[in-house]
Amino acid sequence: MKRKFLKYSTGIGMLLVGSLLLLSACGNSKTASSNETNENGIKIMTTFYPMYDFASQVVGDEGTVELLIPSGTDAHDFEPSAKDIARISDADVFVYNSKEFETWSEDILNNVDQKKVAVIEASQKIDLMEGSEEDHDHDHEEDAAHEGHDHSHELDPHVWLDPVLAQKEVEEIRDGLVKKYPDKKTVFEKNAAAYIEKLKALDGEYKTAFANAENKTFITQHAAFGYLAKQYGLTQESVSGISPDQEPSPSRLAELKTFIDEHQVKVIYFEATASSKVAETLANETGVELSVLQTLESLTEDEQKDGKDYLSVMQENLAALKKSIR
């Protein structure tokens, strides 16, 4: 499938390239061979939480996995610093979701030594869906006037929220690691297979929960759950578009108020890591309940310390969705 990409800011791109070249010149000039690892095993740099969790499950005890985007940060708004670029260049493997989600990745990766750093795009073999119509309510021309990358999306990057597509991402990470470290193929395949079985069980829970539901529509703060909805025959209605910072138009809000009244909607879902102002306003005006539906774009350090991970949060999402889909 031909992917569409938005234009990047030339000034920012030049700054990132310059920073990378400077850091490369000042750093260690030793280049690892395709099978060479750091002293503490394979060093994997991942962008945001699902990539971190998936890579951790596959690599197991064979290496260490780091998170580029800090915990609790809105991944949509992240811009890599010169230090972040150096961290990517210093890794053995770099794992990201897609050029459509990590909109800055193309500028960076064009200037990373990919003979040293194995680059894995986890959604490489997944056809991305078009963005929702609500995206066009936002004034992209106004955004383009701002410095930095345009964080809006023409394609929907939220594939990890579908347990079936999550399996494909795990397989892509597995295959990328096997390609660079063929001597560790057995362990990577064993680790991936064990985790994929858990993802299949999660898929089974979602299928069972929604198989006989009469109401299959749910309302979210932003359109992050399109793949999940498609997988299980549900309908997602969103307040705003693919990017959480996009403001809905007055006409869109009016449509949703009418929809909530006509379909007797009981719940509007919002995300704990993004502003919920619009969702709160809509809930207050219509008298419906607010509930959390996590996009998993970021887990706080406290959540991770409490043992939360991809599987447990997706099970929490399932419990939350049952309030609407029944």
C-alpha to C-alpha distance for 60 and 138, rounded to whole angstroms: 42
CATH of domain 213-321: 3.40.50.1980
User: Nearest 5 degrees, angle CA 3-CA 100-CA 9?
Assistant: 100
Contact indicator for 113, 88 with CB cutoff of 8 Å = no
HEC readout, 186-205:
HHHHHHHHHHHHHHHHHHHH
CA distance 290 to 272: 11
- Measured in degrees and rounded to the nearest 5, phi and psi for residue 66 equal -120, 160
* Res 152: pLDDT: 54
Token pair 């529509």: residue? 217
- Between CA 285 and CA 223 the distance in angstroms is 21
**pLDDT for 76:** 81
Task: Compute the average pLDDT of residues 184-210.
Answer: 98
Per-residue pLDDT at 279: 87
Q: For residue 146, give every residue at least 6 positions away whose Cβ sits within 8 Å of its Cβ, in sequence order, or none.
A: none
| Residue closest to 148 by CA, chosen among 321, 8, 291, 313 | 8
pLDDT average, residue stretch 126-146 = 55
**What's the confidence (pLDDT) of residue 73?**
80
Query: 121 and 168 in contact (C-beta within 8 Å)?
Result: no
Residue type for 319, please?
A
In Å, what is the CA distance from 189 to each residue of 12, 53, 88, 105, 243? 39, 16, 25, 27, 35
What is the pLDDT, as a whole number, of residue 30?
Answer: 34
40: confidence class by pLDDT, cuts 50, 70, 90: low
How many angstroms separate the CA atoms of 220 and 2, rounded? 28
| Residue range(s) of every CATH 3.40.50.1980 domain in the chain | 10-25+32-203, 213-321
Task: At 325, list the tokens.
Answer: 């889909």
Q: What are the strands of the beta sheet with 93-96, ordered from one edge?
A: 63-67, 42-46, 93-96, 118-121
Residue 167 carries which side chain, given as an amino acid letter? Q
Q: Distance between CA atoms of 101 and 98, rounded to whole angstroms?
A: 5
Mean pLDDT score, 160-181: 98
Confidence of residue 61 (pLDDT cuts 50, 70, 90): very high
CATH class of the region 10-25+32-203 = alpha beta
Q: What is the pLDDT of residues 212-224, one digit of tens each?
A: 999 999 999 889 9
Band (pLDDT 50/70/90 cuts) for residue 230 is: very high
What pLDDT, on a 0 to 100 scale, did the predictor assign at position 248? 85
Mean pLDDT of 69-94: 91
